[in-house]
Amino acid sequence: MVNDRQLEVLINDVYEYHGFDFGGYSRASLKRRVDRLIQLDGFPDFAVFLSKVRSDAAYFKHMVEEITVNVTEMFRDPHFYKILREEILPILATKPFIRFWHAGCATGEEVYSMAILLKEANLLHKSLLYATDINPLVLDTAKKGIFQLRMIKSYSENYMAMGGKNDFSQYYTANYGLAKFSEDLSEKMVFSLHNLVSDGSFNEFDIILCRNVLIYFDKDLQERALQLFDDSLSKLGYLALGTKETIKFSSMQDRYEQIHKEKIWKKIK
């Protein structure tokens, strides 16, 4: 296993050689990802791995893709989607045009979930869903809207648990173990690379969803990301985080109002 000192050497060298800053990442999780990668790619020891990361740009790219956690699912936490559908969307519906930002969208399952909600609320035609991630590989998957068919059963259960009324199978076509989601859903999606560590605000949004991304950041980097979201939210816009994430310790919290006890905050000032 990689020790604390080696992990810091890796972080420093990655910054020095590639300008990529993992310095604000939570160490416990990062360490597990590095251990996993060293094992998966069969390196005999840390030194050999480090030298490859330093000298081989293609391998470094692969490392970034593997080190970030891309596990996601459709309608994760059905209760959250139920609140979105019943309480948030009816308010956003009064706008002529609705802008969404899914920050750290991974392979896009949450973006497609949102598109389904919007379609059922008859709002998709006037919505635009920006979805960003630092990992170009996952964005390619997200653009295609093709997910593993074996996951569909649990997605369909989540969909029903959040109060979905339609036959879930109408949204995809199944083939060779894969489910391809309808292009009607992806029509309003824009995918692009964006790094929450180093990139700035690029638009103004009515709702920003960033669920289970901040858990990989330390407090300082979380504060930076939250500031970026604050800069990118319109007044009375919403910020949605993961079920175990909070803005409670952030300097912006007094300008936000929490929706019930949900991890959804409304920007009030």
Residues that bind other proteins (CB under 8 A): 1, 4, 26-29, 31-33, 69, 71, 77, 79-80, 212, 214-216, 218-219, 242-246
Which pairs with CB-CB distance under 8 Å and at least 24 residues apart come from 171-180? 171/116, 174/149, 177/148, 177/149, 177/150, 178/146, 178/147, 178/148, 178/149, 179/146, 179/147, 179/148, 179/149, 179/151, 179/152, 180/144, 180/145, 180/146
Closer residue to other proteins (CB): 146 or 215: 215
**Least distance (Å) from other proteins to the CB of residue 242?**
8
**Least distance (Å) from other proteins to the CB of residue 24?**
13
Closer residue to other proteins (CB): 33 or 188: 33
Backbone angles phi, psi at 109, to 5 degrees: -55, -35
**Least distance (Å) from other proteins to the CB of residue 220?**
11
Beta strands in 16-126 (DSSP E): 98-103
**Least distance (Å) from other proteins to the CB of residue 214?**
7
Residues pairing with 193 in the sheet: 133
Closer residue to other proteins (CB): 119 or 256: 256
**Least distance (Å) from other proteins to the CB of residue 76?**
8
**Least distance (Å) from other proteins to the CB of residue 43?**
19
Closer residue to other proteins (CB): 80 or 168: 80
Separation CA 227–CA 104 (nearest Å):
16
Do 247 and 239 contact (CB within 8 A), yes or no? yes
**Least distance (Å) from other proteins to the CB of residue 111?**
17
Closer residue to other proteins (CB): 206 or 262: 262
Q: Which amino acid, 218? A: D
Closer residue to other proteins (CB): 12 or 55: 12
Q: 22: which residues sit within 8 A by CB, 6+ positions away? A: 10, 11, 14, 15, 30, 67
Separation CA 7–CA 26 (nearest Å):
11
Separation CA 77–CA 162 (nearest Å):
8
Separation CA 231–CA 139 (nearest Å):
24
Closer residue to other proteins (CB): 70 or 234: 70
